[in-house]
Chains A and B, each alone.
Chain A
Amino acid sequence: MTETTQERIDFKVIDDILKSFEYKKSYLIAMLQKVQEVYRYLPEEAMTYIGEHIDGLSPATVYGVATFYAQFSLEPKGKYEIRVCDGTACHVRGSMPVLNAIKNKLKLKEGQKTCDNGLFSLEIVSCLGACGLAPVCMINDKVYPQMTSDAISVILDTLMKEEGIA
């Protein structure tokens, strides 16, 4: 392990999360969610720490769970996590133009999930459970109903302004 990763990951933080779940194997997913909340992704060292300190788990098994579920990311996500719903309802109501508008706005290349400045990350999800509001987007915990490419551009502009970038 390099020195930089050691500086970045504070194992005390991870350990506190494990403690809050009593170091129980059955809470693994909840623990990973908490860790992801802190770091906006699952750092390898964190997964190793969890695997090593919980009975019945190993780094490889934790990694297995982390790679099984789409909700977990092994790369850092942006400060604003954008989720575009592409369920059937959203798709037919035009989620693709919304998605393309976001990609253009954030200048995301093909396959790139997080924009270069690390502020925004983009993810397509299967259904957000709000089909009546289709097409739906979420930015972090906030739901944006009946999106259009124009509407999402305005929203992103506002966020960018708040962050001090034009």
Chain B
Amino acid sequence: MTDEKKTLIIEGKEVEFSNEPNLLEVIRKAGMNVPTLCYRPDLTSFGACRMCVVEVEYPNGRKMINSSCTMPPEAGIKVHLNTDKVRKIRKMVLELLLANHDRECTTCDKSGSCELQRYAEEYGIKHVKQYAQREVMTKIDDSSCALIRDNNKCILCGACVRACDEHQGLQVLGFANRGSKTVVEPMAGRPLGSSECINCGQCAAVCPTGALTINSTQVDEVWKAITNPEKKVVAQFAPSVRVAIGEMFGLKPGENSTKKINAALRRIGFDLVFDTNFSADLTIMEEAHEFIDRLQNGGKLPLFTSCCPGWVRFLETQHPDMLDHLSSCKSPQGMLGAIIREYVPQSHEGFTSENLVSVSIMPCTAKKYEAKREQFKMADGRQEIDYVLTTQELGRMIKEAGIDFKTLEGEEPDSPFGKYTGAGTIFGVSGGVAEAAARTAYEVVTGETLQNVVIDDMRGTKRVKTVELDLKGTKIKVKIVNTLREAEKCMREIKEGKADYQLLEVMACPGGCINGGGQPQSCNDSNIKELRAEGLYTDDATGEWRKSHENPEIKELYANHLEKPNSHKAHELLHTTYVNKRTNCYISVGENK
């Protein structure tokens, strides 16, 4: 019944539709468009901005204006996208929004990619002064190391509020007050930095204006380190960066730019370029062995993956009683951070622990927070990783350096932490960590060579996946979820004793790191994250090695330094501890008694 084809007429053209959730989707599928500010295909329709209004003509001749994002498609209606009336409404919406907007566009972080700015230009908005202007400017909230909140740029579209709720189930951001005094803010107007925010950046990823942006203050410091002749700057970049950064330079989403990034980082002035994919392989070595150990020796199960800093903070703040499930492995960023500090001064001339500056490029805003963890502090008080930049920030640095990324000749990474396997590269997609771990665990447990390395059921950006594996008699069940809303459900399952799986992989962002809060904005097209995932799967399929333990540089690292996975040295460098970060009024009455 729902798949039955029905038709309606858009701009005189007959268009078929079946189960599209709203008229806007029908319009877009038909290759036409209406402007939107608050609509995000991955979130529920909100109908706040009124930019997507269209004129609908019913068979009985009645005409009405309706917002296409909230209207279900109806058979037989005629839809006009661009009548005088509709244009007038959109213009007025823009004028009113701009009147209440801090119009310091040129110095805004979002300048050039702001949707409000774009529509203001497209609709030729010239007169805003006839309306009451924004008078009192509110303070910019830069308390979070991951994100900056500027309510003077907020248009109350509610996309961030929906993302925080629908993706993460956290509702850190909410609407407060009423009418013209309405604002989006955390509880009691508190700074984001002291809220329960897990820094995933999904709010900034859906913000149409400059109200929520990535905290980019470290970019200047990285430039300073690069131009300082006394400093040696080392870079690492994460799996998902390579399939997204090209979008900022006109390349297709999912196109693999690994070698271009190597070259661009050197052009910018980094002294050494390593690949976080290498340490993803290292993570698998440690985590797969930890998993096998727990499985065989009655350790705490299910084991939780620990690569995602948003997820780790979520556990620390919301479910500290579950922290012993969490793998003690540092994330790939954390592992490479430690390895660089420990071994680069030994292997590379001119590098000392003092002059080395460690920078990582991540698809993730929460990685900025992770790098500042107390546990990643060195004896001298500095952090193992000095600066974390997001894909967006690196893209901007490449532009600032005047590099033509599109035509840039690719280069190889530096050794000895530059080679990676397909198992490492798929870390960027939900399910990738589990698949990579399974490849290594299979061979360790069975002692046989795994022929078919791809586990299809673990792939794709679906929010929940459950896979059963048979390691030659050892049956294990793996659950893979992305978004913390789903992770929360797993926590309940486990607490109620209903969990029948032994490994739980969690990534906080929908689809995994490929769709992280630091990636180029892609919220108007759900397909982009699929293409990025495809890009990583292709990288896996075409690489020289596909199992982490086959990585020659990994073998070398263990042979020369670490001895074997989970050895004493490995624990010292590659493993970490977690802390209960729950505040008092979160604890239930009766709990802990």
Are A53 and B172 touching (Cβ within 8 A)? no
Chain A residue numbers with a CB within 8 Å of B175 are: 64, 68
* Chain B 575-593 interface mask (CB, 8 Å, partner A; 1/0): 0000000011110111000
Q: Contacts of A62 on B, CB cut-off 8 Å?
A: 187
Say if the beta carbon of B475 comes within 8 Å of chain A: no
Q: Is the CB of A61 within 8 A of B171?
A: yes
Verify A1–B171 contact, CB threshold 8 A: no
Residue of A nearest to B588 (CB): A53
- B263 on the A face (CB < 8 A): no
Number of B residues with CB within 8 Å of any CB on chain A:
23
Interface: A45 (CB within 8 A): yes
Q: Which residues of B contact A6 (CB under 8 A)?
A: 584
Q: How far is the CB of A55 from chain B (nearest CB, A)?
A: 10
B173 contacts A60, C-beta separation under 8 Å: yes
Q: Which of B552-593 contact A (CB under 8 A)?
A: 583-586, 588-590
* B176-A67 in contact (CB<8A): yes
B74 at the interface (CB under 8 A from A): no
Given known contacts A44-B188, A47-B187, A61 and B585 CB-to-CB distance under 8 angstroms:
no
In the complex, what distance in Å separates the CA atom of A123 from the CA atom of B173?
A: 29
B141 at the interface (CB under 8 A from A): no
Residues of B within 8 A of A15 (CB): 588-590
CB contacts under 8 Å to B, within A24-56, are 44-45, 47-49, 51-53
How far, in whole Å, are A57 and B196 apart by their CA atoms in the complex? 14
Which residues of chain A are near B174, meaning CB under 8 Å?
58, 60-61, 63-64
B185 interface hit (Cβ, 8 Å)? yes
Is A11 at the interface (CB under 8 A from chain B)?
yes
- Prevailing SS type, chain B contact patch: loop
Contacts of B239 in A (CB 8 A): none
Inter-chain contact count A-B, CB under 8 Å?
64
B173 touches A48 (CB 8 A): no
- B99 located at the interface, meaning its Cβ lies under 8 Å from any Cβ of chain A in the complex: no
| Given A63-B176, A67-B178: A1 touches B589 (CB 8 Å cut-off) | no
Residues in chain A near residue B178, CB distance under 8 A: 67-68
Are A58 and B170 interface neighbours, CB within 8 A?
yes
* Chain B neighbourhood of A45, CB < 8 A: 585
B246 at the A interface (CB under 8 A): no
Residues of B within 8 A of A57 (CB): 171
Closest to A18 in B: B589
- Whether, in the assembled complex, B177 has its beta carbon less than 8 Å from a beta carbon of chain A, the answer is yes
A133 to chain B, nearest CB (A): 29
> Which chain A positions have C-beta within 8 A of B590?
15
Among B173, B186, B195, B589, find the residue whose CB has the most chain A CB atoms closer than 10 A. Answer: B589
CB distance from A110 to the nearest CB of B (A): 19
Question: Which A residues lie within 8 Å of B586 (CB)?
Answer: 48-49, 52
Chain A stretch 1-22: residues in CB contact (< 8 A) with chain B: 1, 6, 9, 11-12, 14-15
Q: Which of chain B's residues have a CB closer than 8 A to the CB of A94?
A: none
Docked pose: A44 CA to B178 CA in angstroms: 19
A12, A47, A60 interface centre (most CB from chain B within 10 Å): A60
Shortest CB-to-CB span from A49 to chain B, Å, is 5
Residue from A9, A48, A57, A59 with most neighbouring chain B CB atoms (10 Å): A59
Cα distance A47–B173 in the bound complex, in angstroms: 15
Find the A residue at minimum CB distance from B177: A67
Chain B residues, CB < 8 A from A9: 585
| Most central of A15, A47, A49 by chain B CB within 10 Å | A49
Query: For chain A residues 109-157, which have a beta carbon within 8 Å of chain B?
Result: none
Inter-chain pairs besides A1-B583, A44-B188, A45-B585, 5 sampled, C-beta below 8 Å: A6-B584, A15-B590, A49-B585, A59-B196, A60-B172
Instruction: Enumerate the 4 nearest inter-chain pairs by beta-carbon distance, A residue then B residue, closest first.
Output: A58-B171, A60-B174, A59-B187, A15-B589
> Which residues on B are within 8 Å of A, measured CB to CB?
165, 170-178, 185-188, 195-196, 583-586, 588-590
A-B contact pairs, 16 of them (CB 8 A): A1-B583, A1-B584, A6-B584, A9-B585, A15-B589, A52-B585, A53-B588, A58-B165, A59-B187, A60-B172, A60-B186, A60-B187, A61-B171, A62-B187, A63-B188, A68-B178
Q: Which A residues contact B (CB, under 8 angstroms)?
A: 1, 6, 9, 11-12, 14-15, 44-45, 47-49, 51-53, 57-64, 67-68
